[in-house]
Structure 1
């Protein structure tokens, strides 16, 4: 600096310069932050105000809808009536006519008389609600008919299983061995409770589903398309030793490489070799049922694969303890072999009768 003819010098160290620059940056950042906070606050307030307007609009819309119900109860009743008939027509198209009659021994409730009395009382006390009371009565009658339908299907499936020597109760208990999932409560009333008639319908439908799934897992398709069975289930003369021996399945003779089919729906649980069976496939059908296919020349399935009745799973051969190309087929219940012939001969007819 020049002052009165003299020159003076002021020296600022690098550290001081960095400190001053840092302070300036902090002040600048604080100023920008304040501006940003003010902008965000204004924006947030704008969004909250817009959301409040939307909520007010939604409330107004709901209130107008309730008022529309009050002003147009006849139109609302007609819409619900058409919906009820649509549901009943869809059910009829997919599963057939639901029973209207009540058979001896059935324990399903019959609300027709009480529902008619309710409709009459509502009509006298509140004429404009007569249509809604009638629709409610139709719904209850529909639920009871559907419950009767499920109970009769369950009874038919149970009888079919007994004809095949199986215990329906065991099939049901095994189908419930592994269950889970999130809790999703159902309610038919404003207080969150479930009408007993709907609860009964749910139990009947669940029982029907378990029994029909069990019935579908019963062997019903011939595992090989051949003209005859060369060796039956039971005691026979052993083809190698000539001595009496127990034969745990059926033998289907045929050309080498002929397709082998799954006898029922299930999941492939074993693919490989077993002593005496050679190349072997086992299918778990659930409910303690298993089928075994032995002496194969090739595999067409893998462990964990889900198969349906008639799915090709292998090729006929003569591996293992075998004297020629054939399929050894077994049915096992809870690990014990049973005669496959009644299943293959009767299951299809029994299931057709059940349907």
Structure 2
């Protein structure tokens, strides 16, 4: 094998590269140096790295402001979003707080109104309490009872969230079907219901007071008419004077005061009529005893001739009680001719009563007598044919029919 073919074969087989020889000629001087392939590769790589680094540095310097600006803008957008979210949450909290404050203020105002209404009802009850005591006999049935408010919770200022449920407990029916309503709406419904209840009580009070006033006047009129029918006139002092004057509108409290004053006036008039009626001789002096002789002309039991019988006789056994027919003062207590043992009572306004033929006198002149008091015992003293009570009623000395008075007393017995 020749050297040339051997050299070409080895080069192809091992791919060996010969080093590069660089020759530099300058004038007569010739220089050369050999550059090996790996040194060339290292140098090229270094140059490429320097170029890339230069390009990157240049790009960074050129784009740095844009990158920083974008980053700052992004941070600013994020901060603005956070601030907007915080502002929205703060506004929402403020709205909720304001709503709660308004709800609380509304509840406090309404609770204050309820407390004021309750105090007004309590004041009304204090006013009408004495009148109801004096008019106890007018309340003959349950429908005459004056309504009073039911006890309510002691609600104070500074309501908290639990007040709604506390108040709602007093009207459980209001909570039915109100699951979708707020506490303030439920409380508002509760206050409306309580107000309606209080207004109903107030209206019922007014109606009952007016009814009692009318009944008091009717009772007084019934007593007066019954006594006037017996010839006993009682000046009640109401409804007899002329009236007039400007119209002055009344608010609710003034109207209640006016109704209470009218009831007081009616009860006062009724008490006056009753007091005067009790002083009149309208009671039966011998209750349960049989009438043996009436008032008027009759045959005299001793002489048999017609004569005026100035009173009426009650048949009774000796010793039976004789009772005063009305309040008054004893003006005679002793023997009085044909009357035998007699008691005479002055009832005022010229009216007197006489109780005669008694076996025993139990009072003395000057004694104050009430209707129904025992003044003596039945007997047969004086001009008498047997034990009985002779009873007379006189006005200014003139004899009147006692039966008329007794009937009037029986007619109004349940009213006085």
Q: TM-score normalized by structure 1?
A: 0.53
SS in 1 for 2:232: coil
SS at match of 2:333: strand
Task: Encode CA deviations 1:85-144: one digit per residue, 9 max, x unaligned.
Answer: 4646945755316699xxxxxxxxxxxxxxxxxxxxxxxxxxxxx99x979988876765
RMSD: 4.3
Is 2:223 the partner of 1:160?
no
Instruction: Note the alpha carbon deviations across 1:41-65, whole angstroms, 9 max, x for none.
Output: xxxxxxxxxxxxxxxxxxxxxxxxx
Residues of 1 paired with 2:267 and 2:125: CA distance?
A: 21
| 2:123 pairs with 1:80 | no
2:275 aligned residue: 213
The 3 A distance-change label for structure 1 pair 84 and 207 is: closer
- Residues 351 and 287 (structure 1), Cα distance of their counterparts in 2 relative to 1, 3 Å cut: farther
Query: Aligned equivalents of 2:334 and 2:305: distance in 1?
Result: 29
CA distance in 2, matches of 1:211, 1:351: 11
Aligned to 1:351: 412
Distance 2:283 2:124 in 1: 39
Q: CA deviation at 1:247?
A: 1.0
Q: Please give the per-residue CA displacement for 1:280-329, whole angstroms capped at 9, x wherever unaligned.
A: 11223345432210122211122333334432210122322223332211
Is the 8 Å Cα contact of residues 99 and 148 (structure 1) preserved in structure 2?
Answer: no
Contact 1:224–1:327 (8 Å) recurs in 2: no
Residue 372 (structure 2) aligns with = 310
Q: Structure 1 residues 334, 76: CA separation in 2 closer, same or farther (over 3 Å shift)?
A: farther
Alpha-carbon separation, structure 1, partners of 2:269 and 2:137: 19
Give structure 2 stretches of 5+ with no counterpart: 1-110, 147-194, 238-256
What is the TM-score of this pair, normalised by structure 2?
Answer: 0.46
**Which stretch of the first structure deviates more once superposed, 201-210 or 88-97?**
88-97
Distance 2:124 2:132 in 1: 10
2: distance between equivalents of 1:160 and 1:81? Answer: 39
Name the CA shift for 1:235/1:198 in 2 (closer, same or farther; >3 Å): same
Corresponding residue number in structure 1 for 2:394: 332
Give 1:209 deviation, angstroms.
2.1
SS at match of 2:317: coil
Q: Residue 332 of structure 1: CA displacement?
A: 1.9
Task: Give yes or no for the alignment of 1:149 onto 2:215.
Answer: yes
8 Å Cα contact 1:224-1:259 kept in structure 2: no
Q: Using the alignment, how far apart are the partners of 2:395 and 2:269 within structure 1?
A: 21
Give me the whole-angstrom Cα distance separating, in 2, the residues matched to 1:323 and 1:222: 20
Change (3 A) 1:205 1:254: closer
Q: Structure 1's 155 and 311: CA in aligned 2 closer, same or farther, altered over 3 A?
A: same
Q: Would you say 1:285 and 2:325 are equivalent positions?
A: no
Unpaired runs of 5+ residues, structure 1, are 1-70, 101-129, 174-194
Larger radius of gyration: 2
Distance, in Å, in 1 between the alignment partners of 2:370 and 2:400 is 21
Q: Which residue of 1 aligns with 2:321?
A: 259
Contact 1:262 1:308 in 2 (8 A): yes
The structure-2 alpha-carbon separation of the partners of 1:325 and 1:137, relative to structure 1 and needing over 3 Å to count, comes to closer
Contact kept? 1:215, 1:351, Cα under 8 Å = no
Please list the CA deviations of residues 8-59 of structure 1 after superposition, one character each: whole Å capped at 9, or x if unmatched: xxxxxxxxxxxxxxxxxxxxxxxxxxxxxxxxxxxxxxxxxxxxxxxxxxxx
Q: Take 1:308 and 1:224, find their aligned partners in 2: how far apart are those partners? A: 16
Deviation at 1:160, TM superposition (A): 1.6
**Paired residue for 1:185?**
none
CA distance in 2: counterparts of 1:80 and 1:200, whole angstroms: 19
The 1:227–1:274 alpha-carbon spacing in structure 2 relative to 1, beyond 3 Å, is same
Q: For residues 324 and 352 of structure 1, do their structure 2 counterparts lie closer, same or farther at Cα, with a shift above 3 Å needed?
A: closer
Higher relative contact order (CA 8 A, sep 6+): 1
Distance in 2 (CA, whole Å) between partners of 1:93 and 1:215 is 19
SS at match of 1:293: strand
